[in-house]
């Protein structure tokens, strides 16, 4: 039925949380409130009772090892017995380990929270594959897209989206191709590195780029390698102020044509690196900001849910919409 088709899943894990050390708890940006405020916004918008709750679970060792090295997972497990602290990134291999820095933090719950975040995304994916829900949203932390197969960085310990994609591509999942679309303001360097030679995955990222913006990766010239050449698509925005209008135009001009080409060809259109670069660099900073650019993240998430249910998130100002086709297109 249409009602069943519109069933949207929600994973929210308010229990397995990890916390910054007390000295940084008031100022660190990656805290439990980052997801709890979104959950409360969904409730305030009266959306929670219209969502299908999916129980979170921990990702198994086998599911995580489909993406990460055994050394990576062992280092994550060791955090359960380590003294809570602020650190830099962790990298495996010769001369690896934790670097100096203060952006990453961990406590006794970090490993469990990371497994439950990844497992929650897998659980949603399995629900879609079984036909129980049509789509879903994993409201979980810690985040994941900066985690590489042998690196923990940027608040990320396990790459949840990559773990779910590999689960979907497994014999049990049954898929032959997966499209990963990453529209976080930061480039998903971990996700790109994991899939850059995997022809079964098309990775599409829109992000700020240049002028020292973290993590410094995601140039349009990075297109994947080997049998997966052409299956990494980066849209690097070099200007601030990009909002709904610019992202929707990028989906229309770049993402949809490339994604639609996949079923009928062995590789996406090879002209996309120049197209993505030229299109992204041509975007002007809008004179009228799109309607979500000044809204807090919790309000934007609620608008996303309304849109996914066909209710609409509110009009975009027509005068802020850029051309839907790239220059010369």
Which are the catalytic amino acids? 146
Dihedral pair phi/psi, residue 201, rounded to 5°: -125, 130
Residue located via tokens 């996303």: 304
Q: Read off the tokens for 136.
A: 């879903």
Please tell me whether residue 28 adopts helix, strand or coil conformation. Answer: coil
What is the SS3 assignment for 254? helix
The token duo for 192 is 């790109």
How many Å apart are CA 110 and CA 262, to the nearest integer? Answer: 38
CA distance 179 to 152: 23
| Residue linked to tokens 């773990």 | 163
SS3 138: strand
Cα 157 from chain centroid (whole Å): 13
Residue 246 tokens, joined: 């610019």
Tokens of 95: 């001369």
- What is the C-alpha separation between 8 and 53, in angstroms, rounded? 8
Contact between 233 and 250 (Cβ < 8 Å) = no
What is the Cα–Cα distance from 64 to 43, expressed in whole angstroms? Answer: 32
Cα-based angle 303, 305, 311 (whole degrees, multiple of 5): 80
Query: Could you give the CA distance from residue 136 to residue 48 in angstroms, rounded to a whole number?
Result: 13
H or E element in which residue 235 lies: strand 232-237
Written as six digits, the tokens of 129 are 């594959």
Measured CA to CA, the distance from residue 154 to residue 219 in angstroms comes to 19
């Amino acid at each position: 039925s249409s009602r069943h088709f519109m069933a949207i899943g929600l994973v929210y894990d308010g229990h397995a949380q990890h916390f910054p050390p007390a000295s940084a708890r008031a100022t660190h940006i990656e805290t439990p409130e980052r997801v709890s405020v979104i959950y409360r916004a969904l409730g305030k918008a009266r959306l929670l009772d219209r969502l299908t709750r999916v129980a979170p679970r921990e990702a198994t060792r086998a599911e995580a090892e489909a993406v990460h090295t055994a050394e990576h997972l062992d280092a994550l497990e060791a955090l359960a017995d380590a003294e809570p602290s602020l650190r830099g990134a962790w990298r495996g291999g010769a001369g690896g380990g934790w670097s100096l820095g203060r952006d990453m933090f961990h406590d006794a719950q970090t490993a469990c929270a990371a497994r439950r975040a990844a497992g929650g995304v897998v659980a949603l994916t399995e629900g879609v594959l079984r036909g129980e829900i049509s789509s879903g949203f994993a409201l979980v932390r810690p985040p994941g897209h900066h985690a590489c197969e042998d690196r923990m960085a940027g608040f990320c310990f396990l790459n949840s989206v990559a773990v779910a994609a590999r689960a979907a591509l497994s014999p049990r999942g049954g898929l032959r191709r997966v499209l990963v679309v990453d529209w976080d303001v930061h480039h998903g360097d971990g996700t790109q590195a994991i899939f850059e030679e995997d022809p079964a995955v098309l990775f599409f990222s829109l992000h700020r780029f240049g002028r020292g913006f973290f993590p410094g990766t995601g140039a349009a010239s990075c297109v994947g390698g080997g049998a997966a050449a052409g299956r990494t698509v980066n849209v690097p925005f070099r200007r601030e102020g990009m909002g709904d209008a610019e992202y929707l135009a990028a989906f229309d001009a770049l993402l949809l044509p490339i994604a639609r080409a996949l079923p009928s060809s062995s590789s996406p259109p090879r002209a996309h690196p120049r197209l993505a670069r030229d299109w992204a660099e041509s975007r002007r900073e809008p004179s009228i900001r799109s309607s979500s650019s000044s809204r807090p993240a919790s309000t934007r998430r609620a608008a996303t849910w309304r849109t996914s249910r066909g209710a609409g998130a509110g009009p975009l100002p027509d005068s802020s919409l850029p051309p839907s086709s790239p220059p010369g297109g």
